[in-house]
Amino acid sequence: MSTENTPRTGTTMRVIGQDVLGGPEALKQTEAERPAPRPNEVLVRVRAAGVNPTDWKHRATGGFLGEPPFVLGWDVSGTVEAVGVGVAAFAPGDDVFGMLPYPFGHGSHAEYVIAPTRALWHKPEGVDHVQAGALPLVSLTAWQALVETAELGPGQRVLIHAAAGGVGHVAVQIAKARGAYVIGTASAGKHDFLRELGVDEAIDYRETDFAEAVKDVDVVLDTLGGDTSVKSLGVLRPGGIVVSILPVGSDEFHEEAERLGVRAVRMLVDADRAGMRAIAELVETGRLRATVSGTFPLAEAAEAHRLGDTGRTTGKLVLTVD
């Protein structure tokens, strides 16, 4: 029986935890002690939390976290419930959003979560918690890849792989906000969606080899890894850069980049208040919005993971906490 709408009392909270690795069925709603913030931390009452591919990968394999038990979730949008010693940026009652430190700061798929103040920013005006909860991880990933690492600027050409996905559809909007010409790959059925986002040129990866269709781009955002990373090097102009958000892979990626006279970078997203502030500004000025393809009550987190496991979702999935 679901306890999604059961009033909570005392110092416990509901969490979506797991004791074993496996499929979505490994996720269970359980109770845990509500944490207390330490110096420079805040306790956030979670209102919404995005679900990302890294969540279902960690659920199945343990990833960076190793063996359970653990509570997943890095995205968070909610309300500050309490603050620790020395916190000046936020006060109880403030609406905030952000990404918990990746990978070891996980735990937002719960009623409450502790966050360092440097991971958060004020929730943008004019959007609800679902929208704000969908944005942090994918937006920070795209921002750090395109802006901080590749230094994408006006008039440059960028190729974004899986442009209709979570990171991809946000990256398209950030690239357009930077004044770039955007080429995006996706199945043909998602090309109208890409054009709505502002993609200048859409490629059906099922029918067209991007390595043959694309030339002389300044930046490639690789969200897929594997052979795509190495093949993407060949579409760059001299001095161009491929930024892969897959942190591990073949040495061939860097070796081929050196041979071609281009750059190859692998990165992991990092929690950052300045990045969240920049993202909030894009949201508030109407240049960035997450496409939310499904919302699920906290108790139905396993259903969100089942949908995510299909690899066919557009945009983001979000858990909501009443």
pLDDT of residue 6: 39
With respect to residue 314, please indicate whether it lies within any of the assigned structural domains: yes
pLDDT of residue 322: 85
With respect to residue 190, please indicate whether it lies within any of the assigned structural domains: yes
- Omega prior to 69 cis, within 30 of 0: yes
Q: Rounded to whole angstroms, how far apart are CA atoms 193 and 303?
A: 25
Total domains present in the chain:
2
Task: Indicate if 128 and 162 belong to the same structural domain.
Answer: no
Task: Indicate if 239 and 169 belong to the same structural domain.
Answer: yes
Task: Indicate if 62 and 162 belong to the same structural domain.
Answer: no
With respect to residue 78, please indicate whether it lies within any of the assigned structural domains: yes
List alpha helices for the chain, DSSP H: 53-61, 129-134, 136-143, 166-177, 191-197, 210-213, 227-233, 252-260, 273-284, 301-309
Task: Indicate if 105 and 180 belong to the same structural domain.
Answer: no
pLDDT of residue 1: 28
Which residue's structure tokens are 């690795």?
A: 21
Residues linked to residue 99 through DSSP beta bridges, in sequence order: 75
With respect to residue 60, please indicate whether it lies within any of the assigned structural domains: yes
With respect to residue 7, please indicate whether it lies within any of the assigned structural domains: no
Coil, helix or strand at residue 216: coil
Dihedrals phi, psi of 281, to nearest 5 degrees? -65, -40
Task: Indicate if 173 and 149 belong to the same structural domain.
Answer: yes
How many C-alpha atoms does 174 have within 13 Å on its Cβ side? 31
Which residue's structure tokens are 């069925």?
A: 25
Q: What does pTM read for this prediction?
A: 0.95
Task: Indicate if 98 and 184 belong to the same structural domain.
Answer: no
With respect to residue 1, please indicate whether it lies within any of the assigned structural domains: no
Q: Crossing angle for the helix pair 136-143 and 273-284, nearest 10 degrees? A: 100
Task: Indicate if 198 and 316 belong to the same structural domain.
Answer: no
pLDDT of residue 193: 98
With respect to residue 276, please indicate whether it lies within any of the assigned structural domains: no
Task: Indicate if 195 and 110 belong to the same structural domain.
Answer: no
With respect to residue 204, please indicate whether it lies within any of the assigned structural domains: yes
Q: Rounded to whole angstroms, how far apart are CA atoms 265 and 243?
A: 5
Q: Rounded to whole angstroms, how far apart are CA atoms 105 and 115?
A: 8
Task: Indicate if 160 and 85 belong to the same structural domain.
Answer: no
Task: Indicate if 94 and 147 belong to the same structural domain.
Answer: no
CATH of the domain at 234: 3.40.50.720
Task: Indicate if 156 and 186 belong to the same structural domain.
Answer: yes
Domain of residue 77 covers 12-135+290-320
CATH of the domain at 48: 3.90.180.10
Task: Indicate if 169 and 250 belong to the same structural domain.
Answer: yes
Query: What does each of the 322 residues of the chain score in pLDDT, given as a tens digit?
Result: 233 433 344 599 999 999 999 999 999 999 999 999 999 999 999 999 999 999 999 999 999 999 999 999 999 999 999 999 999 999 999 999 999 999 999 999 999 999 999 999 999 999 999 999 999 999 999 999 999 999 999 999 999 999 999 999 999 999 999 999 999 999 999 999 999 999 999 999 999 999 999 999 999 999 999 999 999 999 999 999 999 999 988 999 999 999 999 999 999 999 999 999 999 999 999 999 999 999 999 999 999 999 999 988 999 999 999 8
